[in-house]
C-alpha cells in the first residue's frame, strides 16, 4: 500500500507528501498563558458567584417541613407533636413525601431482586419470574409471586391522611392530596404495564399467582378507588420500585390538590395533623421514617448544598485566580521570556 | 544409533555420502525464524498471549463473573474488551510471522548447484545437506559453511568477500588443501569420498580445526580452507566446496545470537505499575470486604427480613469473602484491559509515521525508512548509547582520491572518477617531469591486480579500497596500470605502453607502515618507489628535501584536519651496484632460517633511505552524507556514540577523526591494545591515572572531569576480550563511559554484542546498535534497539533489525523527532490513561460506603463496558498518535529537547502517582458532589432525584465530561482528527446512552435495559446540569491552576531549552568556526591506514595468483610456490602482534601532541599577564580567595577578571588545564559559565596547595536543563613545599540553598576526590554523584562544554 503501483523510477517508493503522513496537519497548539488562564479564572469565579447567589435566593423561597414519626408506632395512641417552626403559607404546589432513613434500597442483591419482564406485563414472566427474584419468587404453596422480588415485597405500606385544623378552632378539614401523577412518565407508561390476556380482568390475569409475602392484599386490589391504578401500574408501587441511590431517601406520596379553598394558594398557615396507618416496621434495623412537606421551584425542592457549593467554589477560584495573578506578576517573567 | 545434535562432540562428514551423513542427523540448511504455521497459530498464539499476566488475569475475572453469587457485573463487561485485545494482538502476530515466513522462504529458496550422483543439479538452499559437494560461481553467496575442495583458479585459490560476516570489504584468499585442488572436474569430485572430522558447530569466525581423511592419509584443515555462509565469491570463476555445517549450525547463524523478545522500559515500568495496581486493587477489595463484614453484622443481619442472605451465605464473614471477589470484579477497571491494546495501536501509528517520513527516504537507493518492529518506538526517545558499525554505516566504503600535493585525453579513464583540478591536468599535459613521476609511482607502487576482459575495460582487484583509489587516480591522469606478471608491470603512460621490470616488492606491514617497489624502466634505470605514512617516510628523506618537506608538512596538516588519510610518496634512484649489493643482502635475509622477519626488515630499512620527496596524497574514506553533523547533533542530545568495527585500529581512529568523534581538542586518546590480562588491566588503569603519575586516593572514574578534560578510548578486539572478563568488566565500563568517544576495533561480531550487553548490564540505559552487515546482527539483536542500514548489499542486518533506513544521518531524525515524539506521546497517553481509569473506578469504592459494601456499581453496566473502549478511547488514542509539543524542526535544532526521555522524566513512578492522585481526587468529586446534591433534590414536578438511575446517569455524564475536558487540556496539538475524536466521543456517549435507555430496546429485553427513560428524565433537569458543571469545575480548576503555575514558574525542560538554545545558538556559531580553525594545528594522522594485508607482495612475485595462460615465468612461480603460503601463515601471528606497544605508542603520540596544542592559548594569556614561574604561592592563593566570593555571589564581572588571571597562574604553575572562560552574554547562564571557569582555575590552585579544601564545579548544562551538579571535593596534597592553606568558603548546604533560590531546584552534590598530581599534571577528579532524581548516573552529560572552556579571548577582559 505504501508503494504506489503506478510509479516507477528512483522515487517510486517515496512516501506520499501528504500533510497527514508527514505529520504536518494544520493544528491548533494551545498554550496555558496568562492571557487566557487568568481571565478564565476570574470569569469562572464571577459566574459561579452569580449562579450561587441566584440559586441561594431561589432555595430561600422554598419551604420545607419534616416530621419524624418513627416512634409513633410504639404507642397505641395517636402520636402528637407540635411543630411551631413554620407559620407561613406553603405557597404554590405542596408535595407530601414519606422519607426513610437507613433503608438500603441500593444493595446489589436487593436491586437485582426484581423482574422487569414481569412488571412490563409479559405473561410468561408473570407465571415464571426471573431467578433474580430469589427468595421472593414463590410462596409456600409454590405459586409464583407477582410482583416478585425483594423490592416489591418490601413496598412501603404506611398510609397518611393530612388534616387541616384551620386558623380557628373549626372542624378538621382533610387536605386533598393527589395520589397520582407522582411517577416518571416513562415508568408509568412504558416500564410498568399490566399483563393482558384477552378481555380478562386484572384479577383473572393474576390468577395462579400469589401476592408478595408482606403484602396484605394482592396487586390487583391495591387501589380500590381507581381500577386503573392497580396491578403493576399502581403509582405507589412504581414510586417504590424506583430504588433510591442512598440509604436515606424520600419518596413522593402525594401532591396538594389546589382546586378548593382554602388550598388554592397552597397550604395556609395553621394546625395540621397527620393520621398514619402504621404498617411498615423500621425500628428492627434502626431505620427511621419521616413525613416531609415541601414546596418547589424551577430548580426542585429545598436543596442548600448546590448554592453553597457554588459560592465556595467561586470563592476558592477567586482565591486561586488572585494567587496566580500574583505569582505571574512576581515570577512570571520566565514565562514571558519563553514565549518569544 | 542416533546421536543428539546438542551433545555433538565432533562432526564427521563424508563427502557425497548422504546415507552415511544422515545417521548423525545434522541440521539441514533450512532456516526457520518464523514461529507459527497455519495449524499451530491459534493454540500457540493464545498460549503465548495468556502467558501475559494481564490476559490471564482477565480470563480469571471472566471465570469469577460466571459465579452468580459473586458476579457483580455481567460477563460481557470483561469478555468484550478481552476478545478485542486478543484478536488485535493475534492479527498483529500473524502479520509479523507472515513476513518472517516470506523472508525465510526467500533465503531458503535461493538456488545453488549441488553434485548429486555425479551430476550438477540445481537445488534450493534448504535442500543442501551436510556432505554435499556444491558448486559456487563468481559473485554468489556461499550457501553453507563449506570446505573448499577446488577452484577454477590455480592452486585451488579463491577470493572471498566477508562483508556479511565481519564487515571487512577487502578480499580474502582461501586455498583448498593441495590434494583436493587437483580434483579439477566434476567426475573426480563426484567420486571424492574423503571424510572430514572436525569440531562441532561454534561461533568462532576465525577458527576452524579439522582433519580430512582421504585415501588413508590425513590432511589438516584450518580456517584457511573454509568458505563460510554469508561470504561472497569474488574474482573466481567457480569453485567447489563440501558442506560441513548447514543452516543453524553455520558460523553466521551461530553468531547471530538468540532472538530476544525486546521490551521497552516503558513496557517494564507499565508491568510493574500494573502489578502495583493489582496490589492496590486487592487492598481496596480487602477494605471493602471488611466493611461488608461489619455492615452485614451490624445492619445487614437486621435487614434480613427485607433481604435475606443468599442460601450459601450463613454468616457475615462468608458474605465478606464473596464481597471481596465481587469488588475485585467491579474494581478491575483500574487495570485497564484496553491499555495494552491501545499502546500497541499507538506504536503502530508511530511506526507508520516512520515509514511514511519523506525526510528519511533516500532517493539514491529508493528506500524509505522502515519500522520493522512496531513495539519499540517510544524507546527511541530514550536512547543514551549508540553502538555503531563503521564500514557501510558511517562510511560508504568508497575511497576516493581526494587531494594530492606536489607543486582527458585518456581513453582508459574510469567514468566514475571525479577529481577536478585544471592546473594539475595542465601540468600533466605539458609533461611536467615531477608530475609524471608522481603518477608513475602511483601506477607502479601497489599490489593491485588488473583484469582486462576486453580492450579498454579494465577492472582492478585491489585488496584495499585505498590502493584502488590511488591506482584509479593515476589511471585517470594518464598513467594506466594495465597488467602485471610476477616480474613485470605494464602500464600505459600518456597513451604509450611501457613495461617495467619488477625487481622487488618491499611489502607493507604495520610496523613499517610503508611499501616500496623497485623497478627497472625500459631504459634500464633502476628506481625505488615508496609510499607510506608521513611519520615514517619523512625521516627517511634525503636532507635536500627540507624545503619541500616543510611545504608538504603544511599540506599534510591541512588534509589531516579535514579528516583525510594521507600518504607521502618518495622515490630513490638506485645505481646498478647499489641494487646488486642490496639484492644480495635481501636474498640472504630471505633465506635466513632464523629471525627471517627481522633480517628482512633490516634489509628493507637499508634501501629505503635518502629518498626524494615527491608529494603527498590524501584519500577520503568517504563518510556517508551528513555523518559528522549527525554525530554532533546526537552528542548534543547527550547520546554517546561508540564505534565498534572489525577494521584495523588505524582505519577506525581515522574515521573517528573524520566524523569528528575524535577531535584534536581532546586531552588524550587512550589506546588499549594489550594482549594479556595484566597488560590490559594496566592500560585501563593508566587511563584512570592518565598523565598523573601519582597514587590515586580513590579511583572511581564513573565521573571524570569531562568538563575540562575529554578523553577518548580506542580499544582493540583482543584487549576487549580481556576487558570484558567478569573481573575487569566494571573497570572497563567505568573507564569507557568516562570517555567522550569510544572506538573498539578488530572486534568480532560476538564481541560487539558483548560490549552492548555489558553496557546494558552495568548502566540502566537504553542502547541502540546500528550496522549494515551480518557482522552487526548479534549487536543489533542484543541492543535495546537495532537499526539496520539498508540499501547496501547484505540484508542480514536489516532482517535482524528493528528499524532500517539507508543513511546513517536519518538516525537523528529517527531519534530526535520520531523517538522523542513517540516517547512524549506514550507518556502523555499513559498518564491520562491511568488517570481516567482511576477516576472512573474509584467512584465504586466511595459508593461502597453507602450501599452497605454490597458491590453495587455506580454506573449502568453498559457504561462500564463501553467506557474504556468507546467513550474515552479515541481522544486519548488521537493524542497518543498525533500529539506534538514542538515541531520536528525544533527537535533537530535543539537536541537538548531529547533529554527528558533519557532521564525518564515524563512518565515514571512519581508521575504515575500524580496521575493516580488526580484520578482519585476526580472520583471523590464525581461521587460526592452528585451524592450531596441529588440526595436532597427533586424535579420541578416534585419527583425526587435521589433514585439510583438518575444518580448513575448524572455521575456517568459528569465523568465523561470531566475526562473529555482533561484530554482537551492534555492535548497540545489539535488536529482535525483530535477534534473529531473528542467531540465524537462526547457525541457517541450521549447518543449511545439515549439509545440504550430507549423504549425500543427495553421492550425487547426488559431485564437487560431497565434504565429505560433515565437519560431523558435526568438530563432534562437543570439541577443535574448544574451538578455536572460544578463537578467539572471542581475537578478542572486545580489542575488548570497547577499546570499554569508549572509553565509559568517552573517551565518545562523543553520550554527552557527551547528558549536558552535560541539564545545560545546565536553565540555558538562563531565558536564552531573557531573550533575548525583550531583543528588545523592538530595532529597528523596518516599512518598508512590501509585496510591492508601484508603478504600480497609475495603473492604477486611468486606468481601464484597468475593464470597459467598469462604467466610469463612459470619457472619463477614454481621456485617460490612452496614457500609463500607458509610464509603468509607464519606471518599471521606477527601481523596480529603489530598492535603491541610499539605501534600503540606510535599511534598515541599524536594525541599527546594535542595536549600541547591546547596549551597554546594559555601560554598566550600568561604572557599577557606577565605570569612567571616564580609567582609566589601566597599570591596565588590570594587570587584564589578573590575568586571565591565571586562564585558564591555570582557576579560575572569579577569572575571574568579572576578567571583569566587564575588560568595564567595555573599555567605558570605548569598545570595543563584548559581552564579558561568564554563569558556568555548578560543572561544568567553566562554568569554560571564564568563561575565554572573560575572554579576550574581554583582547582588548579588547590592542586598546588598542600591543603584540603572544598571545590565546587558547576556545569552549565546542568543548570540550564534544570539538573544541577556541583562538585564538592577535597584535594590531596600536591606540592611538598606549599604551605597548608585551608580554603572552605563554600559549604554544600549554602550552595544548595543558592540553587534552590535561583532555580527552584535543589542542587545535587557530588563528592569528589582529586587525584593530585605533581606539578605540570592534570587534576583528575572522580567520585560519585548523588542526584535527587533516582537517575542512574552514568556519566556527566555535557557534550559541548569543551567549547565553553575555550581559549581566553583577550578582548573580553577590557
Q: Is the pLDDT reported for residue B260 higher than 50?
A: yes
Q: How confident is the model at residue A81 (pLDDT cuts 50, 70, 90)?
A: low
Q: How confident is the model at residue B257 (pLDDT cuts 50, 70, 90)?
A: low
A332 burial (CB, 10 Å; 0-12 / 13-18 / 19+) is buried
Strand duo B785-789 + B766-771: pairing: parallel
Cell of A234: 399502581
- What is the model's pLDDT at position B1275? 32
Q: Is the pLDDT reported for residue B1200 higher than 80?
A: no
CA distance B1206 to B1183: 7
Which of A32, A296, A327 has the CB atom closest to B1043's CB atom?
A32
pLDDT digits (tens, 9 = 90+) for A18-36: 889 999 888 887 777 788 8
DSSP letters spanning B451-470: EESSTT-EEEE-SSHHHHHH
Whether residue B1012 and residue A249 make contact (CB cut-off 8 A), yes or no, is no
- What is the model's pLDDT at position B93? 83
User: What is the distance in angstroms between the Cα of A84 and the nearest Cα belonging to chain B?
Assistant: 23
A37 CB neighbours in chain B (<8 A) are: 1040, 1044
- A14 lies within 8 A of chain B by CB: yes
Range B166-181 average pLDDT: 75
Whether residue B1022 and residue A298 make contact (CB cut-off 8 A), yes or no, is yes
Cell of B140: 554468489
Residue indicated by cell numbers 504515575: B912
- A19 lies within 8 A of chain B by CB: no
- What is the model's pLDDT at position B1060? 57
B942 CB neighbours in chain A (<8 A) are: 93, 95, 182, 252, 255, 294, 296, 301
A132 CB neighbours in chain B (<8 A) are: 1007
CA distance B1211 to B790: 51
- What is the model's pLDDT at position A53? 95
Whether residue A115 and residue B856 make contact (CB cut-off 8 A), yes or no, is no
Range B688-697 average pLDDT: 38
Cell of B598: 627481522
Residue with more model confidence, B672 or B1053: B672
A63 CB neighbours in chain B (<8 A) are: none
- A16 lies within 8 A of chain B by CB: yes
Whether residue A338 and residue B1056 make contact (CB cut-off 8 A), yes or no, is yes
Test mutation, A13, A113, A155, A184, chain B, max B CBs within 10 A: A184
Whether residue B944 and residue A251 make contact (CB cut-off 8 A), yes or no, is yes
A15 CB neighbours in chain B (<8 A) are: 355-358, 361, 368
Highest mean pLDDT pick, B556-570, B979-993, B1282-1296: B979-993
Of B391, B351, B901, residue with least CA distance to B637: B901
Cell of A100: 426513610
Cell of B1163: 601560554
pLDDT digits (tens, 9 = 90+) for A279-304: 888 888 888 998 998 888 888 888 88
- Residue B657, preceding bond cis, omega within 30 degrees? no
- A311 lies within 8 A of chain B by CB: no
Helices A34-60 and B1022-1049 cross at an angle (nearest 10°) of 150
Instruction: Name the residue in chain B with its Cα closest to that of A154.
Output: B306
pLDDT digits (tens, 9 = 90+) for B783-813: 999 998 886 556 677 878 889 998 899 999 9
A1 CB neighbours in chain B (<8 A) are: none
Is B389 considered catalytic here? yes
Return all residues near B711 (Cβ < 8 A) that are at least 6 apart.
B666, B667, B668, B669, B670, B687, B690, B704, B738, B739, B740
Which of A132, A135, A245 has the CB atom closest to B934's CB atom?
A245
Q: How confident is the model at residue B613 (pLDDT cuts 50, 70, 90)?
A: confident
Of B450, B339, B387, residue with least CA distance to B52: B339
Range B520-527 average pLDDT: 88
Whether residue B945 and residue A153 make contact (CB cut-off 8 A), yes or no, is no
Whether residue B1048 and residue A250 make contact (CB cut-off 8 A), yes or no, is no
Test mutation, A9, A27, A317, chain B, max B CBs within 10 A: A27
Test mutation, B806, B821, B856, B942, chain A, max A CBs within 10 A: B942
From the annotation, which residues of B make up the binding site for ATP? 389-391, 467, 508, 531, 565, 645-647, 746, 752, 775-776
Cell of B725: 572478563
Q: Is the pLDDT reported for residue B50 higher than 80?
A: yes
Cell of B20: 552415511
Which of A34, A294, A316 has the CB atom closest to B1048's CB atom?
A34
Cell of B1312: 569528589
Of B390, B380, B165, B350, residue with least CA distance to B262: B380
User: What is the distance in angstroms between the Cα of B1353 and the nearest Cα belonging to chain A?
Assistant: 29
Whether residue A93 and residue B935 make contact (CB cut-off 8 A), yes or no, is no
Which of B366, B851, B1058 has the CB atom closest to A13's CB atom?
B366
Query: In chain A, what is the greatest distance between 2 CA atoms, to the nearest angstrom?
Result: 108
Range B462-467 average pLDDT: 73
Which of A242, A303, A313 has the CB atom closest to B937's CB atom?
A303
User: What is the distance in angstroms between the Cα of B358 and the nearest Cα belonging to chain A?
Assistant: 6
Q: How confident is the model at residue B108 (pLDDT cuts 50, 70, 90)?
A: confident
A2 CB neighbours in chain B (<8 A) are: 355-356, 368
Number of A:B CB contacts under 8 A?
295
User: What is the distance in angstroms between the Cα of A231 and the nearest Cα belonging to chain B?
Assistant: 18
* Radius of gyration from C-alpha coordinates of chain A: 31
CA distance B502 to B702: 57
A320 CB neighbours in chain B (<8 A) are: 1037-1038, 1041
B716 burial (CB, 10 Å; 0-12 / 13-18 / 19+) is buried
B978 CB neighbours in chain A (<8 A) are: 27
Highest mean pLDDT pick, B378-387, B1115-1124, B1221-1230, B1244-1253: B378-387
- What is the model's pLDDT at position B1279? 33
CA distance B458 to B469: 14
Cell of B63: 471465570
- A28 lies within 8 A of chain B by CB: yes
Instruction: Name the residue in chain B with its Cα closest to that of A283.
Output: B302
B438 burial (CB, 10 Å; 0-12 / 13-18 / 19+) is buried
- A295 lies within 8 A of chain B by CB: no
CA dihedral over B802, B808, B813, B819, signed as positive or negative? positive
Interface of A with B in 86-125 (CB under 8 A): 93, 95, 97, 102, 104-111, 113, 115-117, 119-120, 122
- What is the model's pLDDT at position B390? 81
DSSP letters spanning B1321-1353: ---EEEEEEE-SS-----S---TTHHHHT----
Q: State the catalytic residue, choosing from B145, B389, B860, B885.
A: B389
Q: How confident is the model at residue B422 (pLDDT cuts 50, 70, 90)?
A: low
Instruction: Name the residue in chain A with its Cα closest to that of B1054.
Output: A338
- What is the model's pLDDT at position B4? 42
CB atoms within 10 A of CB B343: 21
Predicted complex ipTM exceeds 0.85: yes
Q: Residue B773 — φ and ψ, nearest 5°? A: -110, 175
Q: Is the pLDDT reported for residue B427 higher than 80?
A: no
The 3-state DSSP composition of chain B as helix, strand, coil percent (nearest 5) reads 50, 15, 30
DSSP letters spanning B754-810: HHHHHHHHHS--EEEEEESSGGGHHHHHHSSEEEEE-SSS--HHHHH-SEEES-TTH
* Radius of gyration from C-alpha coordinates of chain B: 38
pLDDT digits (tens, 9 = 90+) for B1252-1280: 233 333 332 233 233 333 333 333 333 33
CA distance B1086 to B1080: 15
Amino acid at each position: 500500500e505504501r508503494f504506489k503501483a503506478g510509479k516507477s523510477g528512483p522515487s517510486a517508493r517515496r512516501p506520499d507528501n501528504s500533510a497527514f503522513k508527514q505529520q504536518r496537519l494544520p493544528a491548533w497548539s494551545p498554550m496555558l498563558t496568562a492571557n487566557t488562564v487568568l481571565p478564565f479564572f476570574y470569569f469562572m469565579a464571577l459566574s459561579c458567584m452569580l449562579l450561587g447567589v441566584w440559586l441561594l435566593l431561589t432555595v430561600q423561597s422554598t419551604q420545607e417541613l419534616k416530621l419524624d414519626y418513627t416512634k409513633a408506632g410504639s404507642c397505641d395512641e395517636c402520636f402528637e407533636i407540635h411543630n411551631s417552626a413554620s407559620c407561613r403559607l406553603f405557597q404554590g404546589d405542596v408535595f407530601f413525601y414519606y422519607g426513610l432513613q437507613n433503608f438500603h434500597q441500593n444493595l446489589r442483591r436487593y436491586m437485582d431482586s426484581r423482574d422487569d419482564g414481569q412488571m412490563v406485563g409479559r405473561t410468561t414472566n408473570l407465571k415464571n419470574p426471573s431467578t433474580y427474584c430469589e427468595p421472593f419468587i414463590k410462596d409456600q404453596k409454590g405459586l409464583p409471586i407477582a410482583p416478585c422480588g425483594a423490592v416489591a415485597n418490601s413496598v412501603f405500606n404506611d398510609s397518611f391522611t393530612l388534616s387541616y385544623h384551620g386558623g380557628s378552632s373549626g372542624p378538621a378539614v382533610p387536605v386533598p392530596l393527589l395520589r397520582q401523577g407522582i411517577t416518571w412518565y416513562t415508568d408509568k407508561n412504558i416500564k410498568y404495564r399490566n399483563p393482558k390476556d384477552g378481555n380478562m380482568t386484572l384479577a383473572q390475569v393474576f390468577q395462579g399467582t400469589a401476592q408478595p409475602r408482606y403484602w396484605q392484599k394482592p396487586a390487583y386490589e391495591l387501589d380500590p378507588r381507581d381500577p386503573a391504578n392497580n396491578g403493576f401500574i399502581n403509582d405507589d408501587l412504581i414510586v417504590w420500585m424506583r430504588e433510591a441511590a442512598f440509604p436515606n431517601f424520600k419518596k413522593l406520596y402525594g401532591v396538594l390538590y389546589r382546586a378548593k379553598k382554602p388550598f388554592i394558594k397552597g397550604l395556609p398557615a395553621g394546625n395540621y395533623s397527620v393520621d398514619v396507618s402504621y404498617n411498615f416496621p423500621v425500628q428492627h434495623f434502626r431505620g427511621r421514617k419521616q413525613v416531609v412537606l415541601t414546596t418547589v421551584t424551577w430548580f426542585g425542592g429545598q436543596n442548600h448544598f448546590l448554592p453553597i457549593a457554588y459560592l465556595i467554589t467561586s470563592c476558592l477560584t477567586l482565591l486561586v485566580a488572585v494567587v496566580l495573578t500574583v505569582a505571574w506578576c512576581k515570577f512570571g517573567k520566565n514565562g514571558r521570556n519563553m514565549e518569544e | 544409533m542416533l546421536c543428539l545434535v546438542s551433545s555433538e562432540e565432533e562432526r564427521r562428514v563424508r563427502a557425497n555420502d548422504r546415507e552415511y551423513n544422515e545417521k548423525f542427523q545434522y541440521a539441514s540448511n533450512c532456516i526457520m525464524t518464523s514461529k507459527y504455521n497455519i495449524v499451530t497459530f491459534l493454540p500457540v498464539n493464545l498460549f503465548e498471549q495468556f502467558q501475559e499476566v494481564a490476559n490471564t488475569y482477565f480470563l480469571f475475572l471472566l471465570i469469577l463473573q460466571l459465579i452468580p453469587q459473586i458476579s457483580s457485573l455481567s460477563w460481557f463487561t470483561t469478555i468484550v474488551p478481552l476478545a478485542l485485545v486478543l484478536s488485535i494482538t493475534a492479527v498483529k502476530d500473524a502479520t509479523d510471522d507472515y513476513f518472517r515466513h516470506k523472508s525465510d522462504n526467500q533465503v531458503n529458496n535461493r538456488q545453488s548447484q549441488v553434485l548429486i550422483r555425479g551430476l550438477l543439479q540445481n537445488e534450493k538452499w534448504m535442500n543442501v545437506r551436510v556432505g554435499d559437494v556444491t558448486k559456487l560461481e563468481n559473485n554468489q553467496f556461499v550457501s553453507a559453511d563449506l570446505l573448499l575442495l577446488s577452484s577454477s583458479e590455480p592452486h585451488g585459490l579463491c577470493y572471498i568477500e566477508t562483508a556479511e560476516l565481519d564487515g571487512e570489504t577487502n578480499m580474502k584468499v582461501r586455498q583448498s588443501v593441495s590434494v583436493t585442488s587437483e580434483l579439477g572436474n566434476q567426475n573426480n569430485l563426484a567420486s571424492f569420498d574423503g571424510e572430514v572430522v572436525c569440531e562441532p558447530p561454534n561461533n568462532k569466525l576465525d577458527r576452524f580445526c579439522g582433519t580430512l581423511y582421504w585415501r588413508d592419509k590425513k590432511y589438516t584443515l584450518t580456517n584457511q580452507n573454509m568458505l563460510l555462509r554469508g561470504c561472497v565469491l569474488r574474482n573466481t570463476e567457480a569453485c567447489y566446496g563440501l558442506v560441513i555445517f548447514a543452516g543453524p549450525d553455520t558460523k553466521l547463524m551461530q553468531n547471530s545470537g538468540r532472538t530476544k523478545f525486546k521490551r521497552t522500559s516503558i513496557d517494564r515500568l507499565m508491568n510493574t505499575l500494573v502489578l502495583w495496581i493489582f496490589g492496590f486493587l486487592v487492598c481496596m477489595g480487602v477494605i471493602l470486604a471488611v466493611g461488608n463484614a461489619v455492615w452485614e453484622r451490624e445492619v445487614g443481619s437486621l435487614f434480613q427480613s427485607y433481604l435475606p442472605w443468599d442460601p450459601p451465605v450463613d454468616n457475615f464473614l462468608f458474605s465478606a469473602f464473596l464481597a471481596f471477589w465481587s469488588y475485585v470484579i467491579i474494581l478491575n477497571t483500574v487495570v485497564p484491559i484496553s491499555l495494552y491494546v491501545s499502546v500497541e495501536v499507538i506504536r503502530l501509528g508511530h511506526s507508520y509515521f516512520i515509514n511514511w517520513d519523506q525526510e528519511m527516504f533516500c532517493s539514491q537507493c529508493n528506500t524509505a525508512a522502515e519500522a520493522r518492529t512496531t513495539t519499540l518506538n517510544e524507546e527511541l526517545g530514550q536512547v543514551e548509547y549508540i553502538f555503531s558499525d563503521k564500514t557501510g554505516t558511517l562510511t560508504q566504503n568508497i575511497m576516493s582520491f581526494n587531494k594530492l600535493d606536489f607543486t582527458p585525453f585518456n581513453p582508459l579513464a574510469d567514468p566514475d572518477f571525479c577529481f577536478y583540478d585544471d592546473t594539475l591536468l595542465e601540468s600533466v599535459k605539458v609533461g611536467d617531469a615531477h608530475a609524471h613521476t608522481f603518477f608513475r609511482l602511483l601506477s607502479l607502487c601497489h599490489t593491485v591486480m588488473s583484469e582486462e576482459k576486453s580492450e579498454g575495460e579494465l577492472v582492478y582487484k585491489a585488496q584495499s579500497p585505498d590502493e584502488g583509489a590511488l591506482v584509479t587516480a593515476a589511471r585517470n591522469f594518464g598513467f594506466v596500470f594495465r597488467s602485471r606478471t610476477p616480474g613485470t608491470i605494464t602500464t600505459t603512460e600518456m597513451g604509450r605502453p611501457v613495461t617495467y621490470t619488477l625487481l622487488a616488492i618491499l611489502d607493507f606491514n604495520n610496523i613499517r607502515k610503508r611499501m616500496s617497489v623497485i623497478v627497472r624502466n625500459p631504459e634500464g634505470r633502476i628506481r625505488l618507489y615508496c609510499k607510506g605514512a608521513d611519520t615514517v617516510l619523512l625521516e627517511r628523506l634525503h636532507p635536500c628535501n627540507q624545503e619541500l618537506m616543510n611545504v608538504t608538512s603544511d599540506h599534510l596538516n591541512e588534509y589531516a584536519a579535514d579528516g583525510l588519510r594521507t600518504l607521502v610518496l618518495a622515490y630513490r634512484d638506485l645505481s646498478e651496484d647499489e641494487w646488486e649489493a642490496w639484492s644480495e643482502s635481501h636474498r640472504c635475509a630471505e633465506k635466513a632460517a632464523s629471525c627471517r622477519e627481522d633480517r628482512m626488515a633490516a634489509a628493507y630499512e637499508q634501501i629505503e633511505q635518502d629518498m626524494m620527496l615527491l608529494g603527498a596524497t590524501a584519500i577520503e574514506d568517504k563518510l556517508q552524507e551528513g555523518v559528522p553533523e549527525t554525530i554532533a547533533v546526537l552528542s548534543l542530545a547527550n547520546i554517546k556514540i561508540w564505534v565498534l568495527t572489525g577494521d584495523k585500529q588505524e582505519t577506525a581512529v581515522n574515521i573517528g577523526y573524520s566524523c569528528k568523534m575524535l577531535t584534536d581538542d581532546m586531552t588524550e586518546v587512550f589506546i588499549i591494545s594489550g594482549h594479556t590480562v595484566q597488560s590490559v588491566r594496566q592500560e585501563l588503569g593508566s587511563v584512570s591515572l592518565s598523565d598523573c603519575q601519582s597514587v590515586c586516593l580513590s579511583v572511581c572514574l564513573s565521573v571524570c572531569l569531562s568538563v575540562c578534560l575529554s578523553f577518548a578510548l580506542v580499544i582493540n578486539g583482543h584487549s576487549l576480550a580481556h576487558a570484558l572478563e567478569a573481573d575487569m568488566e566494571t573497570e572497563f565500563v567505568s573507564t569507557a563511559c568516562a570517555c567522550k568517544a569510544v572506538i573498539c576495533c578488530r572486534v568480532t561480531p560476538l564481541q560487539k554484542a558483548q560490549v552492548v550487553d555489558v553496557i546494558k548490564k552495568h548502566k540502566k540505559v537504553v542502547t541502540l546498535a546500528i550496522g549494515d552487515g551480518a557482522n552487526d546482527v548479534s549487536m543489533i539483536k542484543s541492543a535495546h534497539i537495532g537499526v539496520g542500514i539498508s540499501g547496501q548489499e547484505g540484508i542480514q542486518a536489516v532482517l535482524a533489525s528493528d528499524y532500517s533506513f539507508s543513511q546513517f544521518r536519518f538516525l537523528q531524525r529517527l531519534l530526535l523527532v520520531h523517538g522523542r515524539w513517540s516517547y512524549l506521546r506514550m507518556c502523555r497517553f499513559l498518564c491520562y490513561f491511568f488517570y481516567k481509569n482511576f477516576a472512573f473506578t474509584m467512584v465504586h469504592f466511595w459508593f461502597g460506603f453507602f450501599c452497605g459494601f454490597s458491590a453495587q456499581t455506580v454506573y449502568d453496566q453498559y457504561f462500564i463496558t463501553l467506557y474504556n473502549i468507546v467513550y474515552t478511547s479515541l481522544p486519548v488514542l488521537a493524542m497518543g498518535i498525533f500529539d506534538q509539543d514542538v515541531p520536528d524542526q525544533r527537535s533537530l535544532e535543539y537536541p537538548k529537547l531529547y533529554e527528558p526521555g533519557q532521564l525518564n522524566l515524563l512518565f515514571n513512578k512519581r508521575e504515575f502517582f500524580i496521575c493516580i492522585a488526580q484520578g482519585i481526587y476526580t472520583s471523590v468529586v464525581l461521587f460526592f458532589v452528585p451524592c450531596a446534591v441529588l440526595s436532597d433534590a427533586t424535579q420541578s414536578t416534585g419527583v425526587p432525584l435521589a433514585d439510583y438511575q438518575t444518580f448513575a446517569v448524572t455521575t456517568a455524564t459528569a465523568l465523561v465530561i470531566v475526562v473529555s475536558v482533561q484530554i482537551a487540556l492534555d492535548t497540545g496539538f489539535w488536529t482535525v482528527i483530535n477534534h473529531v475524536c473528542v467531540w465524537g466521543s462526547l457525541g457517541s456517549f450521549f447518543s449511545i446512552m439515549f439509545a440504550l435507555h430507549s423504549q425500543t430496546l427495553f421492550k425487547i429485553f426488559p431485564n437487560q435495559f431497565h434504565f429505560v427513560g433515565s437519560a431523558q428524565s435526568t438530563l432534562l433537569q437543570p439541577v443535574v446540569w448544574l451538578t455536572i458543571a460544578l463537578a467539572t469545575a471542581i475537578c478542572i480548576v486545580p489542575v488548570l491552576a497547577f499546570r499554569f503555575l508549572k509553565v509559568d514558574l517552573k517551565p518545562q525542560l523543553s520550554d527552557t531549552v527551547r528558549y536558552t538554545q535560541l539564545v545560545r545558538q546565536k553565540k555558538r556559531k562563531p565558536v564552531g568556526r573557531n573550533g575548525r580553525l583550531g583543528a588545523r594545528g592538530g595532529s597528523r594522522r596518516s599512518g598508512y591506514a590501509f585496510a591492508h594485508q601484508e603478504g600480497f607482495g609475495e603473492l604477486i612475485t611468486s606468481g601464484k595468483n597468475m593464470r597459467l595462460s598469462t604467466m610469463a615465468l612459470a619457472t619463477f612461480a614454481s621456485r617460490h610456490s612452496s614457500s609463500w603460503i607458509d610464509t603468509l601463515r607464519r606471518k599471521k601471528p606477527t601481523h596480529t602482534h603489530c598492535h603491541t606497544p610499539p605501534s600503540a605508542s606510535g599511534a598515541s603520540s599524536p594525541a599527546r601532541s594535542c595536549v600541547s596544542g591546547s596549551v597554546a592559548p594559555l601560554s598566550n594569556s600568561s604572557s599577557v599577564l606577565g605570569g612567571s614561574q616564580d609567582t609566589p604561592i601566597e599570591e596565588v592563593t590570594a587570587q584564589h580567595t578573590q575568586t571565591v566570593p565571586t562564585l558564591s555571589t555570582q557576579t560575572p564581572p569579577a569572575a571574568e577578571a579572576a578567571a583569566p588571571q587564575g588560568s595564567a597562574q595555573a599555567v605558570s604553575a605548569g598545570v595543563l588545564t584548559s581552564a579558561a572562560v568564554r563569558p556568555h552574554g548578560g543572561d544568567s547562564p553566562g554568569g554560571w559559565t564564568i563561575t565554572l571557569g573560575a572554579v576550574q582555575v581554583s582547582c588548579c590552585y588547590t592542586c598546588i596547595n598542600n591543603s584540603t579544601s572544598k571545590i565546587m564545579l558547576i556545569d552549565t548544562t546542568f543548570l540550564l536543563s534544570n539538573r544541577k551538579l556541583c562538585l564538592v571535593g577535597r584535594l590531596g596534597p600536591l606540592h611538598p613545599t606549599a604551605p597548608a592553606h585551608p580554603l572552605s568558603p563554600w559549604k554544600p548546604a549554602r550552595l544548595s540553598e543558592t540553587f534552590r533560590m535561583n532555580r527552584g531546584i535543589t542542587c545535587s552534590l557530588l563528592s569528589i576526590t582529586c587525584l593530585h598530581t605533581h606539578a605540570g599534571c592534570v587534576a583528575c577528579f572522580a567520585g560519585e554523584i548523588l542526584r535527587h532524581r533516582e537517575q542512574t548516573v552514568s556519566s556527566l552529560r555535557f557534550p559541548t562544554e569543551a567549547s565553553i572552556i575555550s581559549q581566553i579571548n583577550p578582548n573580553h577582559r577590557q
